[in-house]
Amino acid sequence: VICDDGKPRNAASSRIHGLIPAADLTPAAFREATRRSLRSYGEITCHAERVSRIEKQGSRFTYETHTGATGSARSVLLATGLVDTLPPLAGIEQFYGHTVHLCPYCDGYGYSDKHIVTYGKGEDGINLSLMLLLWSPHVTYCTDGEDLDATRRTHFESKGIRLEQRRITALTGNGRTLQAIALEGGAVLSCSALFFATSCRPASDLWQTLGCAADKRGSVACDPLTCETSVEGVYVAGDASRDVLQVASALGEGTRAAVAINKRLLRKDGLMP
């Protein structure tokens, strides 16, 4: 049984990058192709709705969805993902996922040698700016009013990163194409893309209500080989658990978890030592 209320993290993105078979597919087209393929496996039931509760009762788990549908299962795989907080920049929704991005690994390649603006507070913004030099030497870091100490300033200058301390008042462009950042005082900074550092949170607290232990970063801890959490029979895959937040890793972790779940059930049924 698959329960998915259909709000994937990359919903705003124009294309999936870094996953060869899905190159040039939108996230929606990728999910539709996956669902089509799943329909050929007759034993799979899909509920397009949110799971509100999962409880362990003896050796089984019972679940309930928001509309009150209920059921039970021998194992649970949590692939509930993350939700990102967009920075409060006027106009950001128009460009997000097209020319405004958060992940250099997903979208940096498209801006080789173009002018990239970075945005983010503290260490996260600093690290993001340095990282983007891998893709382009033309990086401007917008600190949004924050000051940088002299050491950092010198380091940035030596790397060729320009600093912009005036606050951003708006993002402007044509359609989904970002063209400029408007700054307080009326100045305008032309650019091809903006990358931002932001915070994110788990899209679901089911792992907490199930009693799964957290790792030191505060997300759900799991065995790196089997993806099993501290609660026997509960597994986790994708952005909900790990460090490399990409579709390919989510698929790999899902496969790992599926094999481990299958082996656990075979052992429970006495079919495997």
The footprint of ligand FAD on residues 175-204 (CB under 6 A) is 203-204
Residue 50 as a binder of ligand FAD (CB under 6 A): the answer is yes
Size of the site for ligand FAD (CB under 6 A): 35
Tell me, residue by residue from 125 to 164, as one string, x for binding to ligand FAD by CB under 6 A and - for no binding: ----------------------------------------
The CB-of-8 to ligand FAD minimum distance in angstroms stands at 3
133 torsion bin: left (phi>0), alpha (psi -120 to 50), beta (else): alpha
Tell me the three-class secondary structure of the chain, residue by residue: CEECCCCCCCCCCCCCCCCHHHCCCCHHHHHHHHHHHHHCCCCCCEECCCEEEEEEECCEEEEEECCCCEEEECCEEECCCEEECCCCCCCHHHHECCCEECCHHHHHHHHCCCCEEEECCHHHHHHHHHHHCCCCCCEEEECCCCCCCHHHHHHHHHHCCEEECCCEEEEEEECCEEEEEEECCCCEEECCEEEECCCEEECCCHHHHCCCCECCCCCECCCCCCCECCCCCEEECHHHCCCCCCHHHHHHHHHHHHHHHHHHHHHHCCCCC
Stretch that binds ligand FAD, among 110-118, 131-139, 174-182, 233-241 (CB under 6 A): 233-241
> Which of 144, 164, 228, 239 forms a contact with ligand FAD (CB under 6 A)?
239
Residue 242 as a binder of ligand FAD (CB under 6 A): the answer is no
- Nearest CB to ligand FAD, comparing residues 75 and 204: 204
The footprint of ligand FAD on residues 78-107 (CB under 6 A) is 79-81, 84, 97, 102-103, 106
Residue 233 as a binder of ligand FAD (CB under 6 A): the answer is no
Start-to-end Cα distance in the chain: 27
- Nearest CB to ligand FAD, comparing residues 33 and 272: 33
Residue 263 as a binder of ligand FAD (CB under 6 A): the answer is no
Residue 227 as a binder of ligand FAD (CB under 6 A): the answer is no
> Which of 19, 148, 163, 231 forms a contact with ligand FAD (CB under 6 A)?
19
- Nearest CB to ligand FAD, comparing residues 16 and 191: 16
For residue 212, what are the contacts with CB-CB under 8 A and spacing of at least 6? 220, 221, 229, 230, 231, 234, 236
The CB-of-66 to ligand FAD minimum distance in angstroms stands at 8
Residue 256 as a binder of ligand FAD (CB under 6 A): the answer is no
The CB-of-158 to ligand FAD minimum distance in angstroms stands at 31
Which residues are near ligand FAD by CB under 6 A?
3-10, 12-13, 16-19, 50-51, 79-81, 84, 97, 102-103, 106, 203-204, 206, 238-240, 245-248, 250
